[in-house]
Amino acid sequence: MNSFDKHQRFLHFLRQELDIPAESIALVQRHPELPYSSFPMLLWRYGLITLSQLERIFDWLDYGWVNSTKQL
C-alpha cells in the first residue's frame, strides 16, 4: 500500500469513525510544511479534537490502518 492510500484511509477514519468535520481537517491540511506525523497533534492543539479522540487516532495509526485495508 502506498502513502497516498494510507493517507486516504486515515482521512476516511477521521471523517467516518471520529466524525471530525471536513473544515477541521482542511484547517490542518493548510500546513503542508509540517510533517504528516504532526497532523493528529495539530488537530488537538487547535482544539478540534478531544484527548480521547487523539488517543484513538494514535491507536489507529499504530494498528488500525492495517485492519482498515480489509474493510475498504
The pTM (predicted TM-score) of the whole model is 0.79
Q: Which residues contact 24 (CB under 8 A, 6 or more apart)?
A: 43, 46, 48, 49
pLDDT tens for 23-55 read 999 998 887 777 777 889 999 999 999 999 999
Three cell numbers at 33?
510544511
Alpha-helical segments (H) within the chain: 3-12, 22-29, 39-45, 51-59, 65-71
69 falls in which pLDDT band (50, 70, 90)? Answer: low
